[in-house]
Amino acid sequence: MGTRKTATAKSEQQDLSLSEQPDSYFRKSRFSALGSDFYSEVSPTPLTAPFWVSCNTSAARLIGASPKELFGEQGLLLFSGNREIPGIKPIAMLYSGHQFGVYVPQLGDGRALLLGEAQGSEKNMEIQIKGAGQTPYSRGADGRAVLRSNIREYLCSEAMHALGIPTTRALCITASHDPVYREEKETAAILTRLSPSHVRFGHFELFYYRQQPHLSLHLANFIISHYYPELQHEPKRLMSWLKQVGIRTARLIAKWQSVGFTHGVLNTDNMSILGLTLDYGPFGFMDSYQHNFVCNHTDTHGRYAFSQQPRIGLWNLHALVQSLSFHLTQDETLEILETYTPVFEETWLGIMRAKLGLMTVQPDDETLILDLLDLLDRNRIDYTRFMRQLSRFNSSAQPHDNSALRDTFPDRDSFDAWANRYARRLSQENSHPVERALHMNQVNPKYILRNYLADLAIQQARQGDFSEIDRLLALLQHPYDEQPDNGHYADLPPEWASSLDLSCSS
């Protein structure tokens, strides 16, 4: 991991060892059977003299692959766009979507290609390379991704998985010295990611606005058959399926809110039909808690602020349901949409109770939790550190005896008032401090991918040192463990971290 290996261009492939041959793991994707209305066949644009940046052995095992074979010379060529799997043509998916609330008639994979599919021990996984060059859907862009953005997605998708949040997975990063121009001159990289499906809400919107309802229904039947097979024989299976998509989406966003994660670009084309976190761009885990935290500096109106994510999830679900409205009654449409909010609220409240160590359900729990978040917001308290330290709260002491927590608040009187209420709530269920701390530390991570940590890894990588990427990957795969040798990764961020800007190119 993190060792640079170079590879030659296509003309020299025959000189490479055939003992490292990953092709046997891959087959043609099931999505390709849908036909040319849904995608275009495209050959990737090769990276020049590619090299490995990082390889994720955990993700390799997910598809039942041998890391030695997958991450050998042939794999390097495959995942850098220098070769194709014999008999399988890469495809770029076609879709549309609402971007910042405005419908864009055609989007599609402008820089990503689906190489094929692998059959893992539990499920089939699509293999997609991101940054593989221009496609018919690039809209004049170069189709490349830069090293910076791919490092961020690589680390965050694996961090989210370890936090128990549904997500696409990251297999590896390959790179080269090919120049790419964004806000400044950068270098090209390709991220290989895994997902059971990369189908988005925007896939269905495309056919709605093109007035091709037969194609939206064809795609819906495909998704139900392969990814929701338990619904195939439901009498109202389309409605039942959309309700399940809404449930998965609601639960996903509730989990985001519980860890302080902001996606940044919740367009409908970035919403997974499977309820996965998809397309990591200007994401951000909050440092100090802010209700209206905006991680994307191009989101000038705060449409995708942290506090707005639950509402936007419902808005996007409405766009999806509308795209299939040719096949639904008005009553069915309302029933689907009415499922979302109760599921979100129940999921979020359940997670937050667990984060506070509350084992029973009491009527005032939501008020206690919301008042805490208001308190954190007013005092700009580091969210992750506070929730982790709360496991050491002494419910039998006077508030000032919980000094490690209390002293972080400029407004100590407000903390004392809340702490008294929290202590009384814990006493109602005879909470045992040791057991409570154990449970709380299983749901309150010590380590998250703070933006400044990702930035440090990126700066080192630009100098040719990829060791910090691998170090962070290993750390973030165990976010709830103490990891004494890595405790400094849980420290408060330095002052300069607040000046980091993220945009849609991040």
C-alpha span between 39 and 95 (Å, rounded): 9
Whole-number Cα distances in Å, 344 to 51, 102, 266, 274, 311: 43, 25, 17, 16, 10
46-75 burial code (b ≥16 CB/10 A, e <16): bbeebbbbbbbbbbbebbebebebbbbbbb
**What is residue 493's DSSP assignment?**
P
What's the one-letter identity of residue 270?
N
Give the DSSP letter string of 237-261: HHHHHHHHHHHHHHHHHHHHHHHTE
Active site residue 269: yes
Give the DSSP letter string of 264-326: S---GGG-BTTS-B---SS-EE-SB--TT----TT-TT-TT-GGGHHHHHHHHHHHHHHHTGG
C-alpha span between 503 and 281 (Å, rounded): 7
* 147 phi and psi angles, rounded to 5 deg: -55, -45
C-alpha span between 380 and 374 (Å, rounded): 10
Catalytic residue among 15, 37, 269, 364: 269
Judge contact between 428 and 436, C-beta under 8 A.
no
Residue written as tokens 């006077």? 398
Helices and strands in the chain, H and E counts: 16, 13
- 11, with CB counted inside 10 A (0-12, 13-18, 19+), is exposed
Give the DSSP letter string of 356-387: TT--S--TTHHHHHHHHHHHHHHHT-BHHHHH
Helical (H) or strand (E) element with 53? strand 51-55
The three-state secondary structure class of 263 is: coil
C-alpha span between 133 and 8 (Å, rounded): 18
441-452 burial code (b ≥16 CB/10 A, e <16): bebbbbbbbbbb
C-alpha span between 350 and 355 (Å, rounded): 9
CA 376 to chain centroid, in Å, comes to 25
Residue 181, both tokens = 């121009």
- Catalytic residue annotation: 269
